[in-house]
Chains A and B, each alone.
Chain A
Amino acid sequence: MTVDALTRAANPALSADEALVRRARNGDAAAFEQLLGTRIDRCYRLAWSILSNDADAADATQEAFVLAWRQLPRLRDPAVFDGWLNRIVANAALMARRHRVRLREVSVRPAFPGDTAEPLEPPYDPLARTAIDNVPDNDAIGRAFDRLRPQERMILVLHHVDERPVAEIARSLGVPVGTAKWRLHAARAALEKALEAEA
């Protein structure tokens, strides 16, 4: 028995979730509803971190859960359900974002020199804060977060907000654990740098 398996065996909540995944995999919609109920906020937050928009995040979350339901019978190892689900959500959100960016590239191109297109990210107001604050407040960190690339925001949310293990994050992102660690380090550095610009 591996340490991983021992950890799972010692954690009844994990085992209970795996049982739910097995039942949902067999077509039990009530079990899927339970899985949905305990994960929808987290998945919505992940989608929102990529899309920064309630309506788009809701659409991406819905699309991801329906896809997960459809493909669930093909998931052989229930223990990897969360990483697998995160990946579907992230993918749905990234696809939605790409689609949105393409739409904006076509529809909001400036008509005349000097016209400005709608920015893809929240606008940066350099005069919003004029003094360096030694203790960054949540708002400043939040604004700095908005400046990051979607992939950076996503990995920070998975690690710092949802407290997902790095191995699961790696599975969610479809990258090796070492790469996930490096990306996390880089995202954190980017956040600190963006915070500096916010100060």
Chain B
Amino acid sequence: MSGRALTDAQIAAALRAHLPQRAQAGIEDRILDEVARTAQDRPLPKFVAGLWDADPTARRRYQLIAATLLVALTLAAVAGVGALLQDKRLPDPLSLEPPTDVRAYVVDAYEGVAELPALSITIVEVEGTKTRWTYNGTGVLRLDHYFSPNDPEPGLMRLYTDGVMAEEADLGGEQVWVEHGQQGKALAELAMATGLSTFCQADWAYVGLEYLIGRPVHRVKCGGLEMWLDIETGLALRSINAQDPAIGPTIEFTVVQLEIGPQPAELFLPPSDRRTVSGDVYDCSLDPACESPSVEPAPSMRPVVTPPPAPGDHAAPSDLAGFIADVLATHEGLPPLEMLVEEYRSPFGMDAQRRTFFDGSGRRRQEHIFDPSGARPPTVYLTTGGRTYESYGLTEDGRTLWQDLGPSPVAESGPDVPTLGLGEPCSEGWEHRGFDLVVGRPAHHLVCRYLEIWVDDGWRLVVRSQRNPDPLDFMTFVREVQEFRFEQPPAALFELPEDAVVCPGRVGDGVCLDDTGNPMPLPGASPSPSPSG
């Protein structure tokens, strides 16, 4: 990938400027008129109603329960027959036993893909294409993509290594070998290609031991997702993702060939008669306005620095769930404060800082800083007088331009100190790993699988989070409090500047835009709203 790195806030600000802020006038009335003439579909009684739940995920859960009951009845009925057939089955290595924790089994299978041996595998997407993947066992994955399952020759060949995807392409009439950088883990591509997925909002269920292409597989199911997991490799030899038909078609992959063992080394070499060019050069060739490939700033390759252990004795909470509830509640009712949070993604960098000021009574200022040198002003989000405004630089005559984002709901009137993921569900249960020093103070170190959270022992605030990559991912996302003060910030920080120009709707480059995207005459300087108290 050779594009320019954008920060979250840059994307957010640009998209807010680009997209309409308000629905077309009159829609709400039209909808309410229509609603007044429309009867609701009333549900069926109790359990049966679940089978027709409007939310597809919940509906699948109930359908799964019903199916499970049906399966249980069926199993009971055929138990005798099954016993008679038992002696005809292969004798059973332990791995053929049903997994006791299906969800954990699926996660292990997914993560195990990172440790695959050399192999080749051919996958057919039903009513789609055919792909053949070859892995050399040491980090190079080859894809041969057939645009139709019946094509004798692949239409596309790619080589994946961790972070790089390379393929043949036409560059001004010359066939070249293009290497695109900043890609993900190579084997993540293979996991995705088979439809192997770990996530399901319903409960996982074990369906049974089956055999596909002569190999034993554990068939598991969760909602509309069903997978046949190869016991030896963990790969899905078949997967069906039955989305809601209204959303999209069912996606079905079937492995038609799997061979484990060394693969010819020449398969993993780029074509010898092709010149190698970077993704930047290739992308530039596609862009008539590009005179020379962009020179991107080198990634910071920033390592993750974990906090040191806190000296001294500290007592871990005896009730961890209660402790987490206290911390979340603390975040809801904070006194005046100022804090600076730094965020970065390792190894590629993409750093940003967010400075928050809160007056303890509903007024908040957040500065999103993408250029710590100050050469580029931060984007400011100001909540004051019950409304939120976003800064948009200067008008042509030098006044500061703001967009009125509308009323600030009660839920947004707090300091918005982020919980950095502590509020996320953790099915494994949080684990207390001791105490570390963050911003020079002891902090509880909590871990839930790949997410680590540090909670200040005295403040009861989340002061650091670290989202570690799973074995098929590569980036670590760190957010850490750099400065924190419980003190009343200057009142002026919570007021719009006297010369502020406030756009009621969309904002363009130094101008306000009307609903059709055309520049509007600049309104006069807007008076600062009165303090909300």
A3 touching B4, Cβ below 8 Å: no
Contacts of B55 in A (CB 8 A): 75-77, 80, 84, 171
The CA of A135 and the CA of B72, in the complex, are separated in Å by 62
B41 touching A3, Cβ below 8 Å: no
- Separation in Å of the A43 CB from the closest CB of chain B? 8
The residue among A14, A137, A138, A185 with the most chain B CB atoms within 10 A of its own CB is A138
Beta-carbon contacts of A123-137 to B below 8 Å, as 1s and 0s? 000110110100111
Is B324 in the interface zone, CB < 8 Å from A? yes
* Known contacts A75-B55, A170-B199, A191-B3; A196 and B287 CB within 8 A of each other: yes
The majority secondary structure among interface residues of chain A is: helix
* Known contacts A45-B20, A70-B40; A3 and B321 CB within 8 A of each other: yes
Q: Interface residues of B toward A: which range?
A: 35 or more
Beta-carbon contacts of A57-73 to B below 8 Å, as 1s and 0s? 11001100110011111
B6 touching A178, Cβ below 8 Å: no
Is B247 in the interface zone, CB < 8 Å from A? yes
B4 touching A195, Cβ below 8 Å: yes
Contacts of A117 in B (CB 8 A): none
B5 touching A176, Cβ below 8 Å: no
- A residues 65-112 near B (Cβ < 8 Å) are 65-66, 69-77, 80, 84, 87, 90-91
The CA of A11 and the CA of B289, in the complex, are separated in Å by 50
- Separation in Å of the B200 CB from the closest CB of chain A? 6
Residue of A nearest to B198 (CB): A178
B19 touching A48, Cβ below 8 Å: yes
A139 touching B35, Cβ below 8 Å: no
Is B36 in the interface zone, CB < 8 Å from A? yes
Contacts of A197 in B (CB 8 A): 283, 286-287, 289-290
- Separation in Å of the B6 CB from the closest CB of chain A? 6
Please report the number of residue pairs spanning A and B whose Cβ atoms sit closer than 8 angstroms.
250
Contacts of B78 in A (CB 8 A): none
- Separation in Å of the B347 CB from the closest CB of chain A? 15
Is B16 in the interface zone, CB < 8 Å from A? yes
A36 touching B41, Cβ below 8 Å: no
- Separation in Å of the B111 CB from the closest CB of chain A? 12
- B residues 373-418 near A (Cβ < 8 Å) are 376, 392, 406, 409-411
- A residues 112-157 near B (Cβ < 8 Å) are 126-127, 129-130, 132, 135-142, 145, 156-157
Contact of A29 among B22, B35, B42, B198 (CB under 8 A): B35
A196 touching B294, Cβ below 8 Å: yes
Contacts of B21 in A (CB 8 A): 41, 45
The CA of A127 and the CA of B287, in the complex, are separated in Å by 10
Is B329 in the interface zone, CB < 8 Å from A? yes
Contacts of A173 in B (CB 8 A): 247
Beta-carbon contacts of A150-191 to B below 8 Å, as 1s and 0s? 000000110011010001001101111111001001001101
The CA of A27 and the CA of B289, in the complex, are separated in Å by 57
Beta-carbon contacts of A20-60 to B below 8 Å, as 1s and 0s? 00000001010011001110110111001100001001100
The CA of A135 and the CA of B242, in the complex, are separated in Å by 43
B28 touching A37, Cβ below 8 Å: yes
Is B50 in the interface zone, CB < 8 Å from A? yes
Contacts of B16 in A (CB 8 A): 161
Spot the interface stretch: B7-15, B166-174, B303-311, B357-365: B7-15
Contacts of B14 in A (CB 8 A): 136-142, 145
Contact of B197 among A7, A36, A161, A176 (CB under 8 A): A176
In this complex, how many residues of chain A approach chain B with their Cβ under 8 Å: the count is 87
A76 touching B49, Cβ below 8 Å: yes
The CA of A70 and the CA of B283, in the complex, are separated in Å by 48
The CA of A48 and the CA of B13, in the complex, are separated in Å by 17
Is B83 in the interface zone, CB < 8 Å from A? no
Is B85 in the interface zone, CB < 8 Å from A? no
Contacts of B15 in A (CB 8 A): 141-142, 145, 156-157, 160-161
Residue of A nearest to B40 (CB): A73
* Known contacts A62-B27, A141-B18; A171 and B1 CB within 8 A of each other: no
Contacts of B69 in A (CB 8 A): none
B197 touching A84, Cβ below 8 Å: no
Is B96 in the interface zone, CB < 8 Å from A? no
Is B201 in the interface zone, CB < 8 Å from A? yes
- B residues 190-247 near A (Cβ < 8 Å) are 192, 197-201, 225, 243-244, 246-247
A54 touching B24, Cβ below 8 Å: yes
- Separation in Å of the B492 CB from the closest CB of chain A? 27
B31 touching A36, Cβ below 8 Å: yes
Spot the interface stretch: B114-122, B126-134, B422-430, B523-531: B422-430
Residue of B nearest to A6 (CB): B325
The CA of A41 and the CA of B21, in the complex, are separated in Å by 7
A199 touching B289, Cβ below 8 Å: yes
Beta-carbon contacts of B32-72 to A below 8 Å, as 1s and 0s? 10111011111100000110111111100000000000000
The CA of A185 and the CA of B469, in the complex, are separated in Å by 14
* Known contacts A76-B50, A145-B15; A188 and B6 CB within 8 A of each other: yes
* Known contacts A130-B289, A196-B294; A176 and B10 CB within 8 A of each other: no
Chain B interface (Cβ < 8 Å from any Cβ of A): 1-6, 8, 10-24, 27-28, 30-32, 34-36, 38-43, 49-50, 52-58, 184, 192, 197-201, 225, 243-244, 246-248, 283, 286-290, 294, 321, 324-325, 328-329, 332, 376, 392, 406, 409-411, 422-426, 507-509, 515-516
